[in-house]
Structure 1
Amino acid sequence: MAETVFAPWDDPAEKPLIRFRNVTKRFGDFTAIDDLTLDIFEREFFALLGPSGCGKTTMMRMLAGFETPSEGSIELAGSDIARVPPNKRAVNMMFQSYALFPHLSIWDNIAFGLRRESKDKAAIAIRVEEMLKLTRLEKFARRKPHQISGGQRQRVALARSLAKAPKLLLLDEPLGALDAKLREATQFELMDIQEKTGTTFVIVTHDQEEAMTVASRIAVMDEGRVMQVATPDRIYEAPNSVYVADFIGDVNIIAGQVSASGPGAFDLTFAAGQTPVTAASDIAFSDGQTAHLAVRPEKVAIHTAKPEGVENLLSGKVLDIAYLGNLSTYHVELPGGQIIKAQTANTRRLSRRDITWEDNVWVSWTKTAGVLLEK
């Protein structure tokens, strides 16, 4: 039996859990969020991604109830939540600092919110034990926060946030304080916990790899606007603008003038004296229009001898080599000064380099390897 793919955003019958409708948020003369409309569905792991100051934390604070929109509405499960105070929302927020109580044990930290709701002791104990098990912290229950590691404290904060079974959990840069290896492990833990609980997670991050790893969909933001909302693979393979292509991963951007060269294909003239490159595109461009071709380095092949019968073949000189263990990225300068990055996988141990600095090489890519963008 084929596994059903989780994609409620493609189903017109699905109702979103969260709806931003024409939301604007101003602080004095500064517009932090600019006429934003966005849907987030139940059980999604949704990432708000963008540089500092793009408005992602403001959006999260409005969901949590710490800020109210200047214009527009925010709905949670069909109800407008603009005037609902933070403690009355079915929303919990996990802060970057984790904000644990240092004098309370891990067990009591997790129980804190439940006790404030004056649930009976037996029910609290059952729920805390469930949360300890979910976050694999059973054997640390009696310890204080300073007696456990950063990664474990992160899980305590998560357990405490999930204890009250919120409809929505907001995570503000939750892995910012962890080192790279632990971050990676914790990303998979977060995904696992999110799947087990079925809670909708919205994460704010400026780390593109983190967003690509954990999210069902990503909203790439810039200056208070959402530039594109899509699944990680669509954002990477089919960005809708140079900004999104450039923000996610490494990319070559070649700007020039296009002219039609056949059905759904265009020639891009990008430098005097250079052969135009060809790109396939579903977008109709007019002749002479300025366009940008975005090609990922791993889709660019590098050759030491001139190959026969390949598309988009350009000659250049190796300017720089970045050796990343599993990959090598070659920066190749074309005669007009344009730099093209080509990436190769290091599948065997390098005893010597075939290609080194100052070498004359050829780079090529297929006409379907890149995305032709209008803006």
Structure 2
Amino acid sequence: MAETAPISADFAPWEAPDAKPIIQFKNVTKRFGDFTAIDDLTIDIFPQEFFSLLGPSGCGKTTMMRMLAGFESPTEGTILLDGQDIAPVPPNKRAVNMMFQSYALFPHLSVSDNIAFGLKRDGLSKDKIADRVEEMLKLVQLSQFASRKPHQISGGQRQRVALARSLAKAPKLLLLDEPLGALDKKLRQETQFELMDIQEKTGTTFVIVTHDQEEAMTVSSRVAVMDHGKIIQVATPQQIYEEPNSVYVADFIGDVNIIRGTAKRADGDHVHITFAADHAPLIAATKRDIAEGSEVALAIRPEKIAISTEKPEDRNNAIQGKVLDIAYLGNISTYHVELPGGAVVKAQTANTRRVHRRSFTWDDSVWLSWTDTAGAVLVE
């Protein structure tokens, strides 16, 4: 298999009007009896993307993957792979491979024979199989373990064997169903970067199903956040985090404070948000067209909120409260601050010094402040 050109830093085919998708869901609905798992879904996925389907259990992400693999068929609508309707194509004839969370390795076969299994079933010559297996072993850095059985290697290495086997037949599309779920946290984080490196080297389009927000944000070119069979937002990880299109997405991805209130248009791209009778309105920048008097939510990430003992003079948004709780997480500390009305807002500070005395402790009176652009204004 020839190596593809590296994916460039400005890789964004979804923004190019003439880019051709490799996968197209067109008004796809999937029902199981009275239950609608996928509801009139339309989406394009492009070649060389590392695309994540993210959402809670039962949101439809695994059903989408199973339809791509050929294990389920749409009730309505069409799924195209490279412009071809794949409904009549059986799973073993599709240019699609799937890697399962369990890895599904054959325990009685060596690492090499596990990788070669699909190639042998396709009737390739011994020389071609040997060359391809060697290429895959080098790709996943397991050449020295070629003769070992799966039980003789670590969990992370078994994961790489499963990946090599999935890529051996050079599929156009690789589906990964919670591929790192069996690994411990540290190994999982290391393997995420290995997956990204392998995907870039092969140029294969990866579609991954995960419920792990951090994993999706790390590996993906784009993330589709799903709920009840619908895609709520599809965007780059940065856009999903910084510019969520709904309270659901803001709340699902990472940690967030949601302050609800009533919006009043201000000068330029700003709105004033009245959230408490005894407090000055909050000021927030937004490009959204917010109608006067709309009920809105201001979503602010804890790391974007500053905490201080004195009221800052250089910020429009400042609220006084009392430290209710403190979570020390090593690299950061999260302060839970109770506001006069009883609402609790979280603010984070980086622990940049090895040994330090906290500037604030339980029951201290503190000021929380943030810039006009720190939060996202969302219409309820």
Q: Secondary structure at the match of 1:262?
A: coil
After superposition, the Cα gap between the structure-2 partners of 1:86 and 1:298, relative to the gap in structure 1 and judged at 3 Å, is same
Aligned residue in 1 for 2:35:
30
CA-to-partner distance for each residue in 1:69-109, whole Å, 9 max, x for gaps? 00000000000001210000000000010000011111100
Give the ranges of 4+ consecutive aligned residues of structure 1 lying more than 4 Å apart after TM superposition.
Answer: none
Tell me, yes or no, if the aligned pair for 2:312 and 2:369 is still in contact at 8 Å: no
Q: Which residue of 2 aligns with 1:122?
A: 127
Structure 2: segments with no counterpart, 5+ residues: 1-7
Distance across 2 between alignment mates of 1:123 and 1:101: 22
The CA distance in 1 between the partners of 2:9 and 2:188, in whole Å, is 29
| Matched pairs, number | 373
Structure 2 counterparts to residues 81-100 of structure 1, below 5 A: 81-100=86-105
Q: Identify the residue that residue 20 of structure 1 maps to in structure 2.
A: 25
Corresponding residue of 1:211: 216
Partner of 2:198: 193
**Distance in 1 (alpha carbons) for counterparts of 2:245 and 2:317:** 23
Deviation at 1:338, TM superposition (A): 1.3
Shift in Å, 1:285: 1.4
Q: What is aligned with 1:343?
A: 348
SS at 2:201 equivalent: helix
2:327 alignment partner, one of 315, 322, 329: 322
The one of 61, 66, 74 aligned to 2:79 = 74
Work out the CA distance in 1 between the residues paired with 2:170 and 2:124. 13
Distance of 1:334 and 1:287 partners within structure 2: 26
Q: CA RMSD in A?
A: 0.9
What CA deviation, in whole Å up to 9, does each residue of 1:293-326 have, x standing for no partner?
0011111000112222321111000011111111
**How far is the alpha carbon of 1:184 from its aligned partner?**
0.6
Report deviation, 1:143.
0.7
The one-letter code of the counterpart of 1:324 is L
What SS is found at the alignment partner of 1:313?
strand
Residue 354 of structure 1: how far off its partner (Å)? 1.0
Aligned-partner Cα distance in 2 for 1:347–1:356: 17
When the two structures are superposed, what TM-score results if normalisation uses the length of structure 2? 0.97
What residue number does 1:5 align with? 10
Residue identity opposite 2:129 in structure 1: I
Which residue, 255, 264, 283 being the options, matches 2:260? Answer: 255
Match of 2:189 in 1: 184
CA–CA distance in 2 between the matches of 1:192 and 1:31? Answer: 37
1:272 to 257, 268, 277: 277
How does the TM-score come out when normalised to structure 1? 0.98
Q: Distance in 1 between matches of 2:314 and 2:177?
A: 51
Q: Once the 2 structures are TM-superposed, how far is the Cα of residue 276 of structure 1 from its aligned partner?
A: 1.3
Q: Give the AA of the match of 2:257.
A: N
1:4 Cα offset (Å) = 5.6
CA–CA distance in structure 2, aligned partners of residues 195 and 284 of structure 1: 39
Q: In structure 2, how many angstroms separate the alpha carbons of the residues matched to 1:163 and 1:183?
A: 23
- 1:245: Cα distance to partner? 0.5
Secondary structure at 2:317's aligned position in 1?
Answer: coil
Flag structure 1 segments of 5+ consecutive residues without an equivalent. none
Q: Which amino acid aligns with 1:209?
A: E
1:282 is matched with which residue?
A: 287
Matched residue type, 1:206: H
| Deviation for aligned residue 1:284 | 1.8
Match of 2:228 in 1: 223
Q: Which deviates more from structure 2 when the two are superposed, residues 348-357 or residues 49-58?
A: 348-357
Instruction: Determine helix, strand or coil for the equivalent of 2:14.
Output: helix
Q: Does residue 139 of the first structure (1) align with residue 144 of the second (2)?
A: yes
Identity of matched residues, %: 72
